[in-house]
Structure 1
Amino acid sequence: MSNKNDLNVDEKNIDELFENCKKNKLSKVVRKAKWFSIIRNIIICIFVIIAISIANLQALGSKGQKLLDDIKEFNYISAPNTFISQYMVHVGGLNGDIQYYTYKIVEDKPMYFDQKRWKYSIIPLFSEMIADVTNISIGKAETEQQLYDNPKYNKYGRELMKFYYPYVKYDKYQNDLQLVDKIGDNKSMEMVLSFDKLYSIDEVNKLIPKDITLTWYWVDTSNDKEKEEHKSSEMDYANDNTKKYISPNEIALEDKVYGIKVLDRHGVIKESPENTFIDVIESQKDKKSRFQSEYKRIYDNLKGKDNKVTKDDLKIQGVVVTGNVEEMKKLKELPFIKASSLGIVVDKY
């Protein structure tokens, strides 16, 4: 009788032992499966992160290159006598950054002028935010017109040249040609000449003395409505229509004007430089870019009855010239020059 009970007990123990072995094996299998799943998920996550990072960098790089190309293209019709030299594109995260340097050419001498920076993002809301463009105004200003008249500098202390519209009547015109006598004979300089009226390119070429280097034509790109907006006018204050506000006559700074570059980036005079200006606005007006709306506005304002822009449609309201002291003296008292604004002055040798 006791032997039978002992046998039953042994069978129970054996069953429990096998059951425990099964549970242990199953537990090990489950643990291995869990670890395998965790490791697999980690590897998948790593590959996904790497793939997303590569795709993000490619997208940022592509967008940065596109924006850089847009900036270079826009430089052809803006930035008087100013060219892009070194540039850098930085990408990281969801944002990118373009930084580039500009120089001017004064009588075959390149001179560092400015550094500009653009931020952009693959998220449209934060895309292409410009930075580092604040100009510095020097001098007291009791009125807004005086604020316009005061000298303006970029962040590196380079004075920005002023352009005076021929269809705006100013109380005071800047005449920096009178400063030429005070500049040493061993100097060369850059100067804006604002005209008394609009001229054709051929007329301008006849007006400017031959030994003066003409580097840039200032093209009239405004329509009649925009021209009126450049003039002083009486307006109501936004928060009090019982008081009147007199807006000043606008003076354009060199970073807000459009025209034709006569020199290439090596300082070589281009043949028929107006063709580059026309080709750029024609090719860019329908191309999606940071500056498309401005290209479209300029093209619409310039095009003739044939719906095209030709050399005859380009009216010149001023120029940028360079020369030494003796050459610049020849510009004094010329009747078609309404205002003059000095730019960069460099050592002749």
Structure 2
Amino acid sequence: MNEFSDDVFDEKKIKKAINKGKRRTIITIVLVSIIVFVGLSIANFAVSVYFSQKAFKQWDAYVRLSTPNGYISKTIDSSGILGGMSHYKISKDMKIKSIVIEQKQYQFGLKPSVLISRGSGGSIGVTGEDWQFAYKENGWREMLFFHPNVAYKKYKNDEDLINRMQGNKIYEVALSFDKPYKQGELPFIELPEMTWFWVNTYSNSQMKTFQQEAKEYDWSATFIRESEALGFSTRNPFTSTSNLEYEYNDFLKLLQASAFREHKNAYNTMKNKKIDDVEILGIVIYGTKDEIAEIMKEPIIKASSLGGVIDNY
């Protein structure tokens, strides 16, 4: 008698067993693929969120440092593989309300998205007959600053321009001093709320560069741009008894948080200085024509540069 059952050679049963094995294999592959896909998606999402948040802190610090009273007011992230791109809006606090002044993008992550940007500039101020201004996307002029320890051939003075402007407006004006002042040396009886203080964060090598440029270059291009002037704001009116230590400590934290080399260098210059030893080179103030004019009369004001202008309502 044959020791093997005839069932062993049943072709239908063999095909059935093979198909059953295939189905199990396919189901296993599908389940494993789903698990791997979900796991990778979660991991990619976690990596993107981590780097997005890290990049936001760095860029927000950069904006707050390089734009007086500026901040990132909105971000929209588009994520890719292990990274992405963030579209963000920069707003400026103009004392009575905030205004969106620019929209930009930054990349983040281990494999950030490709960023392609196109644009063209105008010819304003490139002839040497006027100051070589830069303009924000909303049309406002970037403010110009003049270091007290640099002998410039010419200084910006926008007092007449402000006086000629009509209507009830709030003006943003950068005022450069005739010399560096420490907090306790400022001669103002009172400065309005939202005053921004320009701090002397410059190294000896930077000062030599500024002095050489002022000596050799045309007056129309020798000044310190708004993004190169670092400082901090106070929300309260400033008087001779005010203490700016809290605002200064926040300023140092922003210098640390920013990923830009210039800010890291500024932190290394300032980290061992107390607020009483910090030199203030100028201020940015916000107010009506009369309020601005009153402060601009002070003899310590060496230069004035108009920035943003909004309706006073």
Same fold (TM over 0.5): yes
Q: In the alignment, which residue of structure 2 is the partner of 1:82?
A: 70
Aligned-pair distance for 1:220? 0.9
Partner of 2:277: 313
Aligned counterparts of 1:135 and 1:272: Cα–Cα separation in 2: 45
- Does the CA contact (< 8 Å) of 1:200 and 1:315 recur in 2? yes
Q: In structure 2, which of residues 24, 29, 37 is the aligned counterpart of residue 36 of structure 1?
A: 24
| Equivalent of residue 225 in structure 1, options 175, 194, 205 | 205
Aligned to 1:275: 246
**Structure 1 134/77 Cα, relative in aligned 2: closer, same or farther at 3 Å?**
farther
Please report how far the alpha carbon of residue 193 of structure 1 lies from its aligned counterpart in structure 2 after TM superposition: 0.5
Shift of 1:344: 1.2
1:34 counterpart SS class: helix
Paired position in structure 2 for 1:262: 234
Structure 1 residues without counterparts, runs of 5 or longer: 1-17, 235-245
Q: How much is the aligned-residue C-alpha RMSD, in angstroms?
A: 3.5
Deviation at 1:259, TM superposition (A): 0.4
What does 1:297-336 correspond to in 2, within 5 Å?
297-303=265-271, 308-332=272-296, 334-336=298-300
Instruction: Summarize the Cα distance change of 1:167–1:136 in structure 2 as closer, same or farther, 3 Å threshold.
Output: farther
> What is the SS of the residue equivalent to 1:87?
strand
Aligned partner of 2:177 among 195, 213, 228: 195
Contact 2:191–2:237 at 8 Å: present in 1 too? no
- Give the Cα separation in 2 of the matches to 1:153 and 1:131: 21
CA offset at residue 280 of structure 1? 4.7
Task: Report the Cα offset of residue 179 of structure 1.
Answer: 1.1
TM norm structure 1: 0.74
1:119 and 1:165 map into 2 onto residues whose CA distance is 34
1:195-233 residue CA offsets vs partner (Å, 9 max, x unmatched): 2221112323x23x6365561001011111111122335
SS in structure 2 of the partner of residue 152 of structure 1 = coil
Residue 42 of structure 2 aligns with an amino acid whose one-letter code is I
* Aligned-residue offset at 1:134: 7.7
> Normalised by the size of structure 2, how large is the TM-score?
0.81
1:338 paired residue among 279, 289, 302 = 302
Q: Give the CA deviation at 1:321.
A: 0.7
The one-letter code of the counterpart of 2:307 is G
CA separation of 1:291 and 1:26: change in aligned 2, threshold 3 A = same
1:274–1:247 Cα change, 3 Å: farther
Give how far 1:57 is off. 0.6
What is the deviation of 1:300? Answer: 2.2
Task: Give 1:291's aligned amino acid.
Answer: A
Contact 2:70 2:90 in 1 (8 A): yes
Alignment match, 2:259? 291
Letter matched to residue 163 of structure 2: D
1:30-53 superposed Cα distances (whole Å, 9 cap, x missing partner): 233233212311221121011101
Q: Which amino acid aligns with 1:163?
A: F
Q: Is the 8 A contact 1:193 1:341 kept in 2?
A: yes
Secondary structure at 1:312 match in 2: helix
Q: Which AA in structure 1 matches 2:35?
A: F
2:140 maps to which of 158, 175, 181: 158
Give the one of 55, 63, 67 matched to 2:43: 55
Return 5+ residue gaps in structure 2 as ranges: 1-5
Provide closer, same or farther for how the CA distance between residues 283 and 348 of structure 1 changes in structure 2, counting only shifts above 3 A.
closer
Report the structure number with the largest CA radius of gyration. 1
Task: State which drifts further: 36-45 or 318-327.
Answer: 36-45
Q: Note if 1:26 corresponds to 2:14.
A: yes
Cα 1:138/1:318, change in 2 over 3 Å: farther
Q: Is residue 139 of structure 1 aligned with residue 124 of structure 2?
A: yes
What is the CA distance between 1:293 and its match in structure 2? 4.5
Distance (Å, rounded) in 1 between the aligned partners of 2:43 and 2:71: 33
8 Å contact kept, 1:233–1:247? yes
8 Å contact 2:125–2:131 — kept in the other structure?
no
In structure 2, what is the equivalent of residue 113 of structure 1? 101
Q: Which range is displaced more, 110-119 or 191-200?
A: 110-119
Contact 1:177–1:331 under 8 Å retained in 2? no
SS in 2 for 1:231: helix
2:3 equivalent in structure 1? none
Give the direction of change, closer, same or farther, for the CA distance of 1:256–1:133 in structure 2 (3 Å limit). farther
Q: Which amino acid aligns with 1:315?
A: E
Percent sequence identity is 27
Instruction: Report how many aligned residue pairs link the two structures.
Output: 305
CA distance in 1, matches of 2:171, 2:250: 30
- Partner residue of 1:170? 152
Structure 1 residues 217 and 296, CA, compared in 2 at 3 Å: closer, same or farther? same
Separation of aligned partners in 2, 1:134 and 1:170: 32
Aligned mates of 1:336, 1:157 — CA distance in 2 = 30
